[in-house]
Amino acid sequence: MRRLGRWRGAVAATLAYGGVHVVTGNFTLFGAATVAGAHWCALYAAGVPLGALVVSHVSWDVWIFLVQPTGEIEAIRG
């Protein structure tokens, strides 16, 4: 963010974070991760401490992978 500026850096980080999730082939996860990444980047750019954002990300991971996975329904039942 130092090189691009606070808000341009947030946009670049959001695009990178969302782009990494494209390779999963799960477009629900890609969309959700991009929106969540934009949220975290905006909060960081606004001055929220990084530690709080790490806690938020860990909570997100637990939710999206353990509590409410985004995979195929048949694959989960099988």
- pLDDT for res 71: 64
- pLDDT for res 33: 86
Six-digit token pair at 53? 């954002």
Task: Report the alpha-carbon angle 38-63-17, nearest 5.
Answer: 25
- pLDDT for res 61: 85
- pLDDT for res 60: 85
Report the predicted TM-score, pTM, of the whole model to 2 decimal places.
0.69
Provide block-wise average pLDDT over 10 residues at a time, the chain (78 residues). 82 89 85 90 92 93 82 54
Residue 46 sits at φ, ψ, to 5 deg, of -80, -5
- pLDDT for res 25: 84
